[in-house]
Chain A
């Protein structure tokens, strides 16, 4: 079946602009995670959704970052007033939930470059 998809695959934006990154999880997965991977580093957790609600947003670096998942499926990560330090690959992962850790299936990521 289809895996996690993310669009766009690449996004170049100017400093100060607003961007939206989209994640389409595996059908039936109620848990959805966003991670950020800087060059040469492991992914870092940003936010977790259980269904439509952001159950854990403790990894968001500041209030310029926001994410939604209005219908419990597709999620959008929104970054306001982008800064050059926001340049990274943004990864989305989905999994089943309830009763313990399940395998997180990652999408290919969106490479964001802020010039």
Chain B
């Protein structure tokens, strides 16, 4: 059972454009929703994260929009740059009861920003 569904699988955006990646989750107990960026050969790195008590969070060119009733959240990258070309993962977590905030990841979106 895939608890976090991510789309699209791949995305090509022109430099300066807006990149939008969507995720949907099933478990309403999730209470922490981070987005990770991963370059080839590297581990994932946190970009931005949101808790379900807010509908939007912005950090620089990156914005998370969160819709609790629809169980969906999305990442918007404004003014996309070639350096943003990477794989992006949405994730969700809850306290498993043992203090573990294990992350449940989506399958990833490979973003290519072309000049």
- How many residue pairs between the two chains, A and B, have CB atoms under 8 Å in the bound complex? 77
Contact of A43 among B6, B44, B100, B101 (CB under 8 A): B44
Q: Is A20 an interface residue (CB 8 A)?
A: no
* B1 at the A interface (CB under 8 A): no
A55 touches B99 (CB 8 A): yes
Chain B residue nearest to A46 in the complex (CB): B102
Chain A residues near B102 (CB-CB < 8 A): 33, 45, 48, 56, 59
Q: Is the interface of A mostly helix, strand, loop or mixed?
A: loop
Count of A interface residues, CB-CB < 8 Å: 31
Q: Are B108 and A41 in contact (CB under 8 A)?
A: yes
Instruction: Name A residues whose Cβ lies closer than 8 Å to a Cβ of B.
Output: 4, 31, 33, 35, 40-45, 48, 50, 55-56, 58-59, 91, 93, 95, 97-98, 100-109
In the assembled complex, 28 residue pairs joining A and B whose CB atoms fall closer than 8 Å, in A order, are: A42-B106, A42-B108, A43-B44, A43-B89, A43-B105, A44-B105, A45-B103, A45-B104, A48-B96, A48-B98, A48-B99, A48-B100, A50-B99, A50-B100, A55-B98, A55-B100, A56-B96, A56-B98, A56-B100, A93-B43, A101-B31, A103-B34, A104-B101, A104-B103, A106-B36, A106-B44, A106-B45, A108-B42
